[in-house]
């Protein structure tokens, strides 16, 4: 039986300081965001009004989305209806983006999309005149294959071995039969296992490219909720972005504006998540996505013999914009140029680099959306839950350091052995000595303080030896505490970044995703959810 508990993210030490301050709407962060009202309703209304001023080529957008939807045979009718709703000026999008991870990759891929769907539904209910559509932006142009070529189930890492290169969305999937065979062995043969294996086969074996396969899987899991899937790697969409390609190449507008924002964030004590380049574009062709650099003669494609004069690259942009691919700092601008998008859901890393972009967007005269931190999820199995209850641990305490909780347990279960009161007595005695000697010779004060420090240090050493002895006597309990952390943060990483959805689906079947959808209600008050399985 699935159950759910949640805590607020800003009550624990979990996200980086920049994101913690973002959640708490710290004044220093506000210049890097839009719509800072305490009222979520007011934020959305302001965003809708501001977004409406910007022109979006809805005709091209709808035509491309319909064309892309036809690439697979399982696009849900509700998704088709939502695509066509985008023809209307009172329809807006709520977007999240993610890499094309094999078999959805880590679990947070699932919850990220659910957050987006639920927020769109929530806003549509609040304002029946307007419609808000959830969108998943496929990072099909990414070329970091090592980040997406695997997923983990029951501590087994299933990996796609390939020598293909270039944009991962174009990778051919006919090499994945061996991964399917491994998956079948791990899952067994119950009804849910059969569904998962069939889903993998239908997606990867029966479709030619990773982009098509990912589209098929996301449709199967979320199509009934009307999710729209967009692939930015399309010549008609990139045609809309031609002027911004030119701005990056010839004016280095992204580099200048973003570096200024990074400098301001650095002054506030925050570190940059990503740094812009002078040119933030890749040259994209079959089996290749390579960075473009500016040189004295024009432009060069790194690690290739390709070079372009200013006139040549201008002509290429205008006639074949599909040959150009935005990098991580330019992709958000691309998204906002082609979508009527009022909010973006991202993880801590994504929100961190979006916070660098606002002034760049203003310079380019493009709408900067509401930034929404995705909700987090931890899976807690029955054995782990029993251990948590045994030690009376709060959910918040799981975000303390492991050593701290172990030491705390030792102190609580062996309170008679604490030397804290003795330490206080020593401080009092030396303080009295200091007062007595003050009348004799004030210069003796430092000597008394030094002796006090030595005595307290000796006491700490004794206490450390006592603690070590007590730990030896509590090996079972300490081992169980460590097991809680190993399950919650395997390898020091939140388990949502390791586990694949199939591991939970295997036992809970098609009730799993609807259960998550019923319980994850995104808002500006971001939450960490614990799913007990």
Residues 143-160 have pLDDT tens digits of 999 999 999 999 999 999
Transcribe 291-327 into DSSP letters: EEEEETTEEEETTSS-EE-HHHHHHHHHH-GGGEEE-
Give the rounded percent of residues in the chain with a pLDDT score beyond 90. Answer: 83
The closest of 2, 4, 5 to 396, measured between CA atoms, is 5
Average of per-residue pLDDT values in the chain: 93
Q: What pLDDT score does 1 carry? A: 83
Helices 475-488 and 382-390, packing angle to 10 deg: 130
Instruction: Give the pair of three-digit tokens for residue 49.
Output: 């009004």
- pLDDT bracket for residue 51 (50, 70, 90): very high
- pLDDT bracket for residue 171 (50, 70, 90): very high
Higher pLDDT: 168 or 427? It is 168
Whole-number Å distance between alpha carbons of 314 and 320? 10
82 and 487 in contact (C-beta within 8 Å)?
Answer: no
Whole-number Å distance between alpha carbons of 248 and 277? 10
Whole-number Å distance between alpha carbons of 264 and 283? 31
Mean pLDDT computed over 165-188: 96
Phi and psi torsions of 146, nearest 5° = -65, -25
SS3 330: coil
Beta strand 324-326 with 281-285: parallel, antiparallel or unpaired?
Answer: antiparallel
pLDDT tens, residue by residue, 58-85:
999 999 999 999 999 999 999 999 999 9
Whole-number Å distance between alpha carbons of 176 and 162? 9
356 and 491 in contact (C-beta within 8 Å)?
Answer: no
Beta strand 298-301 with 288-295: parallel, antiparallel or unpaired?
Answer: antiparallel
pLDDT tens, residue by residue, 85-121:
999 999 999 999 999 999 999 999 999 999 999 999 9
Mean pLDDT computed over 520-526: 86
148 and 99 in contact (C-beta within 8 Å)?
Answer: yes
Beta bridge partners of 308: 299
Whole-number Å distance between alpha carbons of 91 and 89? 6
Whole-number Å distance between alpha carbons of 470 and 414? 8
- pLDDT bracket for residue 19 (50, 70, 90): very high
Mean pLDDT computed over 494-504: 97
Q: What pLDDT score does 521 carry? A: 86
pLDDT tens, residue by residue, 424-455:
898 899 888 888 877 777 777 888 888 989 99
Whole-number Å distance between alpha carbons of 194 and 4? 27
Q: What pLDDT score does 417 carry? A: 61
pLDDT tens, residue by residue, 293-344:
999 999 999 999 999 999 999 999 999 999 999 999 999 999 999 999 999 9
- pLDDT of 407 over the 90 cut: no
Whole-number Å distance between alpha carbons of 239 and 318? 8
227 and 79 in contact (C-beta within 8 Å)?
Answer: yes
Whole-number Å distance between alpha carbons of 9 and 407? 25
- pLDDT bracket for residue 177 (50, 70, 90): very high
DSSP letter for 249, please. Answer: I
Instruction: Give the pair of three-digit tokens for residue 40.
Output: 């979520």
- pLDDT of 523 over the 90 cut: no
Q: What pLDDT score does 112 carry? A: 96
Q: What pLDDT score does 12 carry? A: 95
Whole-number Å distance between alpha carbons of 315 and 323? 12
142 and 168 in contact (C-beta within 8 Å)?
Answer: yes
CB count within 10 Å of CB 70 equals 10
DSSP letter for 270, please. Answer: P
451 and 430 in contact (C-beta within 8 Å)?
Answer: yes
The closest of 364, 306, 376 to 335, measured between CA atoms, is 364
Q: Is the dihedral of CA 478, 480, 483, 488 positive or negative?
A: negative
DSSP letter for 54, please. Answer: S
CB count within 10 Å of CB 251 equals 11
Phi and psi torsions of 131, nearest 5° = -125, 135
Whole-number Å distance between alpha carbons of 166 and 287? 4
Phi and psi torsions of 344, nearest 5° = -125, 130
Whole-number Å distance between alpha carbons of 207 and 203? 6
- pLDDT bracket for residue 271 (50, 70, 90): very high
Q: What pLDDT score does 158 carry? A: 97
Instruction: Give the pair of three-digit tokens for residue 301.
Output: 């494609």
Q: What pLDDT score does 519 carry? A: 94
Residue located via tokens 């599909």 = 322
């Amino acid at each position: 039986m699935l159950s759910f508990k949640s805590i607020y993210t800003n009550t624990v030490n979990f996200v980086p300081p920049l994101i913690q301050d973002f959640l708490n709407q710290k004044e220093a962060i506000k210049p890097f965001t839009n719509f800072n009202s305490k009222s979520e309703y007011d934020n959305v209304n302001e965003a809708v009004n501001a977004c409406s001023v910007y022109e979006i080529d809805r005709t091209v957008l709808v035509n491309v989305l319909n064309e892309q939807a036809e690439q697979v045979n399982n696009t849900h009718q509700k998704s088709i209806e939502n695509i066509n709703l985008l023809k209307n000026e009172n329809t807006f999008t709520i977007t999240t983006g993610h890499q094309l991870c094999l078999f959805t990759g880590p679990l947070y891929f699932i919850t990220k999309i659910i957050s987006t769907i639920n927020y769109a539904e929530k806003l549509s209910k609040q304002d029946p005149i307007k419609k808000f559509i959830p969108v998943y932006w496929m990072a099909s142009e990414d070329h970091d294959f090592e980040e997406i070529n695997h997923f983990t189930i029951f501590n087994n890492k299933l990996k796609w071995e390939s020598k293909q290169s270039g944009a991962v969305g174009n990778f051919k999937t006919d090499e994945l039969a061996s991964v399917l065979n491994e998956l079948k062995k791990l899952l067994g043969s119950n009804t849910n296992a059969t569904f998962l294996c069939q889903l993998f086969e239908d997606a990867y074996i029966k479709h030619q490219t990773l982009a098509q396969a990912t589209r098929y899987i996301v449709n199967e899991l979320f199509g009934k909720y009307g999710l729209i899937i967009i692939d930015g790697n399309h010549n008609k969409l990139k045609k809309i972005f031609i002027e911004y390609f030119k701005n990056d190449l010839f004016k280095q507008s992204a580099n200048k504006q973003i570096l200024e924002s990074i400098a301001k964030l650095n002054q506030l004590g925050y570190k940059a998540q990503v740094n812009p380049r002078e040119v933030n574009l890749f040259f994209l062709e079959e089996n290749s996505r390579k960075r473009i650099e500016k040189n004295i003669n024009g432009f060069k494609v790194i690690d290739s013999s390709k070079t372009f004069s200013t006139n040549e690259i201008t002509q290429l942009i205008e006639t074949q914009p599909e040959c150009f691919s935005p990098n991580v700092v330019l992709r958000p601008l691309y998204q906002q140029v082609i979508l009527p998008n009022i909010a973006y859901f991202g993880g801590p890393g994504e929100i961190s680099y979006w916070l660098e972009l606002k002034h760049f967007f203003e310079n380019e005269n493009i709408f900067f959306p509401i930034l929404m931190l995705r909700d987090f999820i931890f899976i807690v199995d029955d054995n782990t839950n029993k251990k948590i209850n045994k030690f009376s641990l709060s959910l918040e305490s799981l975000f303390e350091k492991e050593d701290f909780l172990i030491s705390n347990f030792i102190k609580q279960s062996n309170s008679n052995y604490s030397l804290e009161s003795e330490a206080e007595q020593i401080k009092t005695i030396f303080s009295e000595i200091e007062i007595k000697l003050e009348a004799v010779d004030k210069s003796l004060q430092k000597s008394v303080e030094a002796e006090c420090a030595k005595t307290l240090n000796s006491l700490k050493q004794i206490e450390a030896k006592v603690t070590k002895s007590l730990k030896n006597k509590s090996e079972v309990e300490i081992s169980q505490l460590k097991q809680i952390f190993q399950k919650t943060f395997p390898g020091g990483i939140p388990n949502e970044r390791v586990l694949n959805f199939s591991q939970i689906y295997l036992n809970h079947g098609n009730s799993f995703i609807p259960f998550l959808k019923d319980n994850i209600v995104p808002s500006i008050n971001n939450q960490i959810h614990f799913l007990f399985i």
